[in-house]
Amino acid sequence: MCFPRTWPAALVTDVARRLEAGGADELWVIEDCFYTAGPTLSAAALSVTERLTVGLGILPAVARTAAVTAMEIATLCALAPGRFLPGIGHGVQEWMGQMGVRPKSPLTALDEVTVAVTRLLAGETVSMDGRTVYLDNVKLDAPPAAAPPILLGVRGPKSLALAGRVGGGVVLAEPASPSYVRASVENAGSPDGFVVAAFSAFCVRADRKTAYEWTAPWLAGLLEEKNPALPALPFYDDLVRRYDELGVPGLVTMPTDWWLELGPIGTLDDAATHLDALEAAGVHHVGLFPDPEVEHGLPQLEHVLALANR
């Protein structure tokens, strides 16, 4: 399950405990500017659990120096060995500009940061004089005994290719359909041992129509903004045409197979079918995104646990 950025920070410990007690495997926390800090939420969740893996999607590459990012990751690994999965990404460039850290080349910045952090976590003494990263004989005092893979939260073909070259895997933002997962891994070069995490917009209701009515406005927004994950859908052209002609009501009534490809949306059985398809496409970790409003999203935790125990 994902912990939406709009949920109160203090709720993360309760959510983590409930997920672990109920048999779920993972909690993913989100760091978006200017909401809550990912390492802090991760530490809180890890400190109240013994088995739960916590993923962080994602740390913006330039919001911290590479050395501080490596320190944060190493500290979280020390708090809970083997239970922390870090993600690093470009960050929203408008937000980076607001903070005065927007790089001239986000791709180069992510490349340099990923390489530096990976080497520091491996225990190396690192010196770099790059366009974004400068390090002068920096070495972590306590690198993790087993460094986790650095997952890159990226979308475009060039960034996915970079993830395949210098990252340990990817974090794919919702809607990470099986079609989009396969295309992304292919763009990354399908390297051996490549770890794939996928976020999915999660909406389970008693009947499909109610779930589709709840989710259709969200899908309409993705179409309006030309979300880069959507063109991978095998029915993308038909989807665009249907929305242009019929609007949101046309999305509600689109074929069930389309909804099954888009996400864990519909009945509990529909959600399970989608998760099986993600696994078949090569996904190792799934973060189910509940509704951003706590009063609607928190009850979905019980559906997450039902899926975890199927």
Q: Measured in whole angstroms, how far is the alpha carbon of residue 45 from the centre of its chain?
A: 17
Q: What is the mean pLDDT of residues 45-68?
A: 98
Strand 203-204 vs strand 265-266: parallel, antiparallel, or unpaired? parallel
d(CA 300, CA 73): 29
Query: What token pair was written down for 281?
Result: 């496409």
Phi, psi of 180 (to 5 degrees): -70, -40
Nearest to 181 by CA among 277, 89, 289: 277
Q: Measured in whole angstroms, how far is the alpha carbon of residue 262 from the centre of its chain?
A: 16
Q: What is the mean pLDDT of residues 246-275?
A: 98
d(CA 129, CA 135): 7
136: left (phi > 0), else alpha (psi -120 to 50), else beta? Answer: beta
**What pLDDT sits at residue 152?**
98
**What pLDDT sits at residue 247?**
98
Reported as a pLDDT band with limits 50, 70 and 90, residue 162 is: very high
Nearest to 49 by CA among 72, 86, 23, 87: 23
Residue 129: is it exposed, middle or buried by C-beta count within 10 angstroms (0-12/13-18/19+)?
Answer: exposed
**What pLDDT sits at residue 110?**
98
299: left (phi > 0), else alpha (psi -120 to 50), else beta? Answer: alpha
What residues have CB less than 8 Å from 183, skipping those under 6 apart? 232
d(CA 82, CA 115): 21
**What pLDDT sits at residue 263?**
97
Query: What token pair was written down for 6?
Result: 């709009």
Reported as a pLDDT band with limits 50, 70 and 90, residue 141 is: very high
Angle between helix axes 301-308 and 12-22 (nearest 10 degrees) is 30
Q: What is the mean pLDDT of residues 53-57?
A: 97
Structure pTM?
A: 0.95
**What percentage of the chain exceeds 70 in pLDDT?**
100
**What pLDDT sits at residue 14?**
98
Per-residue pLDDT tens over the stretch 281-300: 999 999 999 999 999 999 99
> Helix or strand or coil: residue 55?
strand
Mean pLDDT, the chain, rounded, equals 97
Which residue is associated with the tokens 């589709």? 212
d(CA 110, CA 107): 5
**What pLDDT sits at residue 126?**
98
CB count in 10 Å sphere of residue 127: 11
DSSP 35: S
Per-residue pLDDT tens over the stretch 62-93: 999 999 999 999 999 999 999 999 999 999 99
d(CA 187, CA 105): 20
Helix, strand, coil % (nearest 5) of the chain? 50, 15, 35
**What pLDDT sits at residue 105?**
97
Q: What is the mean pLDDT of residues 105-115?
A: 98
Are 266 and 259 contacting, i.e. CB atoms less than 8 angstroms apart? yes
